[in-house]
Amino acid sequence: MSFYRNAVWFVKGLQEYTKSGYEAAAKHFAPADLDVNLSGRSFMITGANSGIGKATAQEIANRGGTIHMVCRNKGRAEAARDEIVEQSKNQNIHIHIVDMSSARQVWEFAQNFSQSDTVHVLINNAGCMVNQRELTQEGLEKNFATNTLGTYILTTALIPALTNVEDPRVVTVSSGGMLTQKLNVDDLQFEKGTFDGTMAYAQNKRQQVILTERWANQHKEVHFSSMHPGWADTPAVQTSMPSFHAKMQAKLRTEAMGADTAVWLAVSAAARTQPSGLFFQDRKAVATHLPLASSRSTPQEEEKLMAALEEFSLKFKP
């Protein structure tokens, strides 16, 4: 079944996830959707110093939004901020140094931020694809810690703050790669069998989509969405998937193309009219499973995922 999923997904990707796929979809975009003044709105973007995160921050800064860049590397974050300010002439760009793979750091940051700042939109963009099984200082597998647990802690910790503002939103940058995976809640940290970083990443991205659906049901006052940016030419793709990048480089989307749907979900009035909890590609809600792929999880499996994440979360809460 995994071979079937991978084959169907790759054919689908060649048609839809490439630069030409974006260009075909963009013919149907409403340009006025992004014609907005975001002055007075505050956006938190994780992994905002490069790739899709940086492109998202740039587009929002260009429209006057206040940006809170959550980044791991201070030097790269400062360089990215200077570029964003120079292009947008927007000085309301703030840096927060947080390692999203450290559950305790994420907790401490979210708690401190909630006491002193306002956030209208959280964009969960930070992610990693580590191709060798590696543990964090807290003893967690690094892909899981960054992509799933870090996203879970930051989002749940900020929900009380989000419910206090007008038009709160949470956008999670997932991946179409999740279509190749069925939730495996019995091996969240990939301790069984041969480790495969690409598979681990796709499993994490499936988890993010399930989290988005669950949060949408639990917190009706916040608008949740997840999205696939397509196959974009980013530093992360170059370093984590060098052979894929080398073969596909001419077909890959730009970072701005990859960021487009995240920006649309974060700022447009049109996105807010969509039901909460959906998965988007090129500004349209799309299916979260391939046809005949047997990738659906049961409610019990999803409950087990949520319970496990809550248990991990509380273990590291200050």
Any idea what DSSP says for residue 166?
S
Q: Give the C-alpha separation, 141 to 133, whole Å.
A: 7
Q: Give the C-alpha separation, 138 to 168, whole Å.
A: 32
Residue type, 14: L
Interacting residues of 28 by C-beta distance below 8 A, sequence separation 6+ = none
Interacting residues of 238 by C-beta distance below 8 A, sequence separation 6+ = 245
Q: Where are the beta strands (DSSP E) in 76-128?
A: 93-97, 121-124
Q: Which position has the token pair 């790269």?
A: 76
Q: Give the C-alpha separation, 106 to 192, whole Å.
A: 27
> Structure tokens of 262?
């995240």
Determine which one of 17, 22, 152, 201 is catalytic: 201
Q: Which residues pair with 66 in a beta bridge?
A: 42
Q: Give the C-alpha separation, 2 to 182, whole Å.
A: 9
CB 64 within 8 A of CB 90: yes
Could you confirm whether 201 is annotated as catalytic? yes
Catalytic residue positions?
201
